[in-house]
Amino acid sequence: MYRIAKKRVLNPAVTLMEIEAPLVARKALPGQFIIFRIDEEGERIPLTIAGYDRERGTVTIIFQKVGYTTEKLDTLSEGDYLMDFVGPLGEPSHTEGVKRAAVIGGGLGVAIAYPQAKALHEAGCQVDLIVGFRNEELIILEDELTAACTELTVMTDDGSNGNRGFVTQALAAKLAAGEQYDEVIAIGPLPMMRAVCDLTKPYGVKTIVSMNPIMIDGTGMCGGCRVTVGGETKFACVDGPDFDGHLIDWDEAIARSRMFRPEEARAKEKLHKCRRDAMIENAAKGGA
């Protein structure tokens, strides 16, 4: 069993948890992920490691309440336990030799971009960190992001933070101004990562993307995270999750990411029904 040592609400849809998992914390590296299961009836969910503390033996995960399991996870509190917490899994990010980088994070991808930017920055790399959110209320980890880079740019779709636009617009401006990057790292929704790759390709800038959004089982056995990279079949959870974004078949990857939306919607409705029935039952008992 794995104890929830800390729970922090980052915005109405996103929650941070620190999990006591000393063996995972001992070997975790930026770019890797874990698989958790809430209880014996729960599904296996992969989440990228957002941070770790080797001395305290904790691993930080950040999740968005988008489906049945993540909504159920959010009902737990500090002191509660997860049944399974396995990792670290996947290949760590390779940052050797990178002296100048742009790290791009969109939405929840910001939580994954953060440890990568931090690792590069701590290694002496000059890091331009560009992150994007729909509006100011959804901005997360701003203090941590500021400390993990040379320059932080926060974009919002509606401009509510005073900086309107998309992450690709901010990156395009830097490239047009003559910024020279050894590497661009993009993490977030698949369409956003694809747009970053389309932008950097004419400049010949190496662009790495994290394909964790298409992972399901996390072991390679289910095949749901198959992705074609340079004409070869790879598995995001075993061979990645980081790949050369200029070599990915994006049409295929995006189509696969949408395969299980009907099933997830049904599971989410089931959770809402269970909560509603419980509230009705408790209300009836209170009135008895």
- Mean pLDDT of the 236-247 span: 85
Q: Which residue has the tokens 């290694």?
A: 123
Q: 112-143 pLDDT, tens per residue?
A: 888 889 989 988 999 999 999 999 989 888 89
Of 102, 131, 136, the closest CA to residue 192 belongs to 131
Of 214, 208, 191, the closest CA to residue 243 belongs to 208
pLDDT surpasses 90 at 58: yes
Q: Which residue has the tokens 């309107």?
A: 164
| Percent share of the chain, pLDDT over 90 | 48
Question: Which of 94-103, 126-135, 149-158, 174-183 shows the lowest per-residue confidence on average (mean pLDDT)?
Answer: 94-103
Contact 87/96 with Cβ under 8 angstroms? no
pLDDT at position 212, please?
74
pLDDT at position 240, please?
75
Tokens (6 digits) for 135: 């509006």
pLDDT at position 264, please?
54
pLDDT at position 32, please?
87
Number of neighbouring beta carbons within 10 Å of residue 284: 9
- Mean pLDDT of the 239-261 span: 81
Please give the mean pLDDT across all residues of the chain.
85
The band of 167, judged by pLDDT with boundaries at 50, 70 and 90, is: very high
The band of 164, judged by pLDDT with boundaries at 50, 70 and 90, is: very high
pLDDT at position 66, please?
79
pLDDT at position 154, please?
94
Of 91, 142, 94, the closest CA to residue 116 belongs to 94
The band of 253, judged by pLDDT with boundaries at 50, 70 and 90, is: confident
DSSP 162-230: S-BS-HHHHHHHHHHTT---SEEEEES-HHHHHHHHHHHGGGT--EEEE-GGG-SSSSSSS-TTEEEET
Its pTM stands at 0.79
Q: 8-46 pLDDT, tens per residue?
A: 999 888 899 999 999 999 999 888 889 899 988 888 888
Tokens (6 digits) for 16: 């941070």
Number of neighbouring beta carbons within 10 Å of residue 147: 13
Collapsing DSSP states into helix, strand and coil, what is residue 269?
helix
Question: Which of 49-63, 66-80, 157-171, 228-242 shows the lowest per-residue confidence on average (mean pLDDT)?
Answer: 228-242
Number of neighbouring beta carbons within 10 Å of residue 76: 15
